[in-house]
């Protein structure tokens, strides 16, 4: 075993005067209607789907106006009545029209299929991307699957009023920010699928709204959450854990590149699709504050790599707890100032611990939790694994976990130090290939 325990975090910010994170710009949503219509499946058969197709209209609005139930039509605010099964919208001239008769304006739509899970503000559905048939104008299923998170405005407004930590406005804003940042780095527009493969982070197909619901539409990940796979498997081998963990680190590095911290990294918020993992659920994201940049990056080139500004990075000022207790860094639990990237790396360390052991490390990151005290404050992870759980993982794996899970953030390894750890050089195998 190579003992690196004397190493200090080489990425922890030394700018100890905390700042508030810059706000994300107000995200823009596209309006839509939810209609009933015939759909041709991939075999050519036509079936009628009742109130299950989302079609984008020609109008957009900032999130804040959409949430208030108001909408911009022809550059003017208008209150609108809405029926969930209506195919009626307003034209740019303010006149009523039937969008189902506008095929030239609606090249893409989304079919809502089966329900997959609950969400804080609604439900998550499996969906299929539709295209207009060039022959008879009937919607045609494509091979592209999607996930549709449908949230009611009523529940979202209640969450804002009750100061819920998870914020769909910030979730959309963070995804749009990362997409703009990647497009700037590439100097071209790239697809959501390509952006996901490039970053290891979920990217949007569309953000749509009507006057009952908000819809977040993203590519579908067929493997589901790592947490669900782990529950079925109980634990992963070291080669499987290494495979997944390297991909998770790539996603965290993409967030760093875009100047964003996630604050809710967990096995429940990492999806698997074929050979890659993707970080999802960006509703607790914050932008990283930097010296001399309190107002944000309005004047910053879109292709800036925020990793190059590490010496200017500042702590984030005290905030309410965010994330799941099992994954929450002790400084977040104690509501102290924190380094946004370091708390994400802490959560990644907890993810690796759970993948390797099939166990929760502790109940909460507090000194009165005996396991947390022994592992994170006293550095006795090896003893706990052997004497308490009788789990035989390698010395290198134990050493890496210990150094990622010290209570003091300056004693934890940085992302690059983790990548450089000897355990990361071992063999890998994809757990989804067996």
- Residues 202-241 have pLDDT tens digits of 999 999 999 899 999 999 999 999 999 999 999 999 999 9
Sign of the four-CA dihedral 60, 66, 71, 72? negative
Q: How many CB atoms lie within 10 A of CB 383?
A: 12
What local confidence, expressed as pLDDT, does residue 33 receive? Answer: 93
Query: What is the CATH number for 359?
Result: 1.10.510.10
What local confidence, expressed as pLDDT, does residue 428 receive? Answer: 95
What local confidence, expressed as pLDDT, does residue 322 receive? Answer: 92
352 within domain boundaries: yes
Report the first-to-last Cα separation within the chain, whole angstroms. Answer: 30
Confidence check: pLDDT of 293 > 70 = no
The answer to whether residues 234 and 263 belong to one domain is: yes
Query: CA nearest 365: which of 357, 356, 373?
Result: 373
For 303-355, the pLDDT digits (tens) are 788 999 888 999 999 999 999 999 999 999 999 999 999 999 999 999 999 99
What local confidence, expressed as pLDDT, does residue 432 receive? Answer: 83
Domains in the chain, number = 2
β partners of residue 73: 76
Confidence check: pLDDT of 4 > 80 = no
Q: What is the mean pLDDT of the chain?
A: 87
Q: How many CB atoms lie within 10 A of CB 428?
A: 16
What local confidence, expressed as pLDDT, does residue 323 receive? Answer: 93
Residues constituting the chain? 434
Among all chains, which residue has been given the structure tokens 């990647």?
182
Q: Report residue 353: phi and psi, to 5°.
A: -55, -45
Give the single-character DSSP code of 120.
T
Separation between Cα atoms, residue 289 and residue 307, nearest integer Å: 13
Q: How many CB atoms lie within 10 A of CB 382?
A: 16
- Contact in structure between 332 and 322 (CB atoms under 8 Å): yes
Rg of the Cα trace of the chain? 23
Structure tokens at 335: 């509501």
What local confidence, expressed as pLDDT, does residue 167 receive? Answer: 87
Separation between Cα atoms, residue 197 and residue 251, nearest integer Å: 10
94 within domain boundaries: yes
pLDDT over 70 percentage in the chain: 87
For 121-178, the pLDDT digits (tens) are 999 999 999 999 877 889 999 999 999 999 999 999 888 877 777 889 999 999 999 9
Burial environment of residue 419 by CB neighbours within 10 A (0 to 12, 13 to 18, 19 or more): middle
Separation between Cα atoms, residue 302 and residue 292, nearest integer Å: 18
197, 219, 241: which is the final residue of a domain? 219
Sign of the four-CA dihedral 118, 259, 277, 127? positive
The answer to whether residues 289 and 252 belong to one domain is: yes
For 365-393, the pLDDT digits (tens) are 999 999 999 999 999 999 999 888 899 89
Among all chains, which residue has been given the structure tokens 């949503």?
29
- Name the pairing type of β-strands 88-90 and 76-79: unpaired
Domain that holds residue 168: 28-219
The answer to whether residues 288 and 259 belong to one domain is: yes
Query: What is the CATH number for 98?
Result: 3.30.200.20
Among all chains, which residue has been given the structure tokens 């819920």?
164
The answer to whether residues 234 and 128 belong to one domain is: no
Separation between Cα atoms, residue 201 and residue 221, nearest integer Å: 12
The answer to whether residues 242 and 113 belong to one domain is: no
What local confidence, expressed as pLDDT, does residue 161 receive? Answer: 77
Q: Report residue 409: phi and psi, to 5°.
A: -60, -25
pTM (whole model) above 0.85 = yes
Give the single-character DSSP code of 274.
T
For 232-257, the pLDDT digits (tens) are 999 999 999 999 999 999 999 999 99
167, 195, 219: which is the final residue of a domain? 219
Confidence check: pLDDT of 82 > 60 = no
What local confidence, expressed as pLDDT, does residue 433 receive? Answer: 75
């Amino acid at each position: 075993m190579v003992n690196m325990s004397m190493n200090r975090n080489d990425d922890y910010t030394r700018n100890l005067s905390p700042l508030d994170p810059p706000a994300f710009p107000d995200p823009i949503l596209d309006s839509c209607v939810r209609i009933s219509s015939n759909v041709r499946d991939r075999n050519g058969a036509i079936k009628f789907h009742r109130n299950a197709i989302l079609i984008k209209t020609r109008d957009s609005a900032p999130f804040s106006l959409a949430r208030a139930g108001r909408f911009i039509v022809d550059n003017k605010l208008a209150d609108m009545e809405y029926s969930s099964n209506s195919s009626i919208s307003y034209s740019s001239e303010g006149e009523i029209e039937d969008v189902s008769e506008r095929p030239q304006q609606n090249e893409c739509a989304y079919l809502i299929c089966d329900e997959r899970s609950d969400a804080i503000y609604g439900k998550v559905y499996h969906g299929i991307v539709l295209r207009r048939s060039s022959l008879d104008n009937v919607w045609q299923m494509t091979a592209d699957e999607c996930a549709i998170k449908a949230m009611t405005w009523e529940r979202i407004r209640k969450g804002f009023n009750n100061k819920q930590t998870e914020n769909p406005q910030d979730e959309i804003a963070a995804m749009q920010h990362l997409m703009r940042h990647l497009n700037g780095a590439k100097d071209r527009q790239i697809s959501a699928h390509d952006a996901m493969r490039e970053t290891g982070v979920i990217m949007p197909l569309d953000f749509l709204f009507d006057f009952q619901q908000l819809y977040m539409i993203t590519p579908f990940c067929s493997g589901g959450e790592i947490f669900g796979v782990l529950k079925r498997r109980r634990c992963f081998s070291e080669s499987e854990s290494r495979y997944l963990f390297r991909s998770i680190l790539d996603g965290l590095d993409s967030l760093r590149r875009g100047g964003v911290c996630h604050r809710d990294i967990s096995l429940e918020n990492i999806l698997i699709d074929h050979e890659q993992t993707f970080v999802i659920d960006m509703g607790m994201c914050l932008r990283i504050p930097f010296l001399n940049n309190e107002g944000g990056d309005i004047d910053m080139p879109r292709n800036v790599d925020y990793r190059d500004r590490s010496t200017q990075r500042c702590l984030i000022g005290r905030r309410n707890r965010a994330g799941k207790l099992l994954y929450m860094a002790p400084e977040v639990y104690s509501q102290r100032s924190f380094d946004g990237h370091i708390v994400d790396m802490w959560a990644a360390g907890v993810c690796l611990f759970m993948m390797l052991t099939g166990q929760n490390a502790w109940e909460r990151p507090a000194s009165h939790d005996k396991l947390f005290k022994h592992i994170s404050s006293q550095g006795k992870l090896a003893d706990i694994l052997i004497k308490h759980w009788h789990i035989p993982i390698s010395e290198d794996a134990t050493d890496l976990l210990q150094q990622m899970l010290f209570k003091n953030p300056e004693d934890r390894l940085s992302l690059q130090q983790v990548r450089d750890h000897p355990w990361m050089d071992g063999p890998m195998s994809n757990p989804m290939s067996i």
